[in-house]
Amino acid sequence: MADLWFQVLKADKVSVFDNFFNLGEHFLMATQLVSHIRSEFDVPIGVAHLFNMDNLAKQAMFIETT
């Protein structure tokens, strides 16, 4: 999951509790992240989910329970 954030954000490090949108990211990057998550983990996730699951910890929990 962190690798996907690194790819999309082009960041060197990200905390599991960093808020995706507070990092200055926008809708296009959110769309890219959702696309990567769908491909990598085969889970039904949309951009709207990112507003509720805005950090790595929440997204990982979603993927594990889906």
pLDDT band at 57 (very low <50, low <70, confident <90, very high): very high
Q: 66 and 43 in contact (C-beta within 8 Å)?
A: yes
Q: What is the pTM of this model?
A: 0.85
Class of 2-65 in CATH: mainly alpha
Angle separating helix axes 56-65 and 27-41, nearest 10 degrees: 30
What's the rounded Cα separation, in Å, for the pair 48 and 31?
10
Per-position b or e across 12-45, b if 16+ CB within 10 A of its CB: eebeeebebeeeebeeebbebbbebbeeebebeb
10-32 residue pLDDT tens: 888 889 999 988 887 788 899 99
27-46 residue pLDDT tens: 889 999 999 999 999 999 99
